[in-house]
Amino acid sequence: MLRKCLAAVAAPFAFALPMAASVQAADAPSPEAWREAVARAPAPGEGCFRTDYPSTAWKGVACVAAPNRPQPRLARDGGFATGDGADYSAVVSGLISSTVGSFPTVTGVTKETDFGGKNVYSLQINSQFFASPTCSGATKPANCLGWEQFVYDSMDKALYMQYWLINYGSHCPSGWMSYSGDCYRNSSAVGVPQVAVTALATVKLSGTAVAKGIDTLVFTVGTKAYSVTGKDSVVDLASFWNASEWNIFGDGDGSEAVFNKGASIQVLTTLTDGSTAAPTCEAGDGTTGETNNLKLGPCAAAGGTNPSVTFTESLAK
Each residue's pLDDT tens digit, 68-95: 999 999 998 766 689 999 999 999 999 9
Strands 295-302 and 182-186: unpaired
Q: For 164, phi and psi rounded to 5 degrees?
A: -130, 145
Per-residue pLDDT averaged across 216-223, rounded?
96
Which pLDDT value is given to residue 101? 98
Check pLDDT > 50 for residue 21: no
Q: Are 312 and 81 in contact (CB under 8 A)?
A: no
CA dist 235 and 213 (Å) reads 12
Which pLDDT value is given to residue 143? 97
25, 36, 192, 225 from 53: Cα distances, Å: 9, 12, 15, 8
CA dist 10 and 205 (Å) reads 27
Lowest mean pLDDT among 5-19, 126-140, 206-220: 5-19
Express each pLDDT in 115-142 by its tens digit: 999 999 999 999 999 999 999 999 999 9
299: Cα within 13 Å, side-chain hemisphere: 24
Lowest mean pLDDT among 1-15, 84-98, 285-299: 1-15
Chain-centroid distance of CA 261 in Å reads 26
Per-residue pLDDT averaged across 239-249, rounded?
98
Check pLDDT > 60 for residue 16: no
CA dist 145 and 134 (Å) reads 9
- Quickly state the pLDDT bin for 42 (edges 50, 70, 90): confident
CA dist 213 and 37 (Å) reads 21
Per-residue pLDDT averaged across 156-180, rounded?
97
Helix, strand, coil content of the chain in percent (nearest 5):
15, 40, 45
pTM of the predicted protein model: 0.91
With H, G, I as helix, E, B as strand and everything else as coil, classify residue 38. helix
Check pLDDT > 80 for residue 3: no
Which pLDDT value is given to residue 80? 67
Give the whole-number percent of the chain exceeding pLDDT 90.
84
Check pLDDT > 90 for residue 170: no
Kindly give, in sequence order, each residue whose CB lies less than 8 Å from that of residue 12, ignoring residues fewer than 6 positions away. Answer: none
Which pLDDT value is given to residue 55? 82
Work out the number of other CB atoms within 10 angstroms of the CB of residue 79.
7
Check pLDDT > 80 for residue 12: no
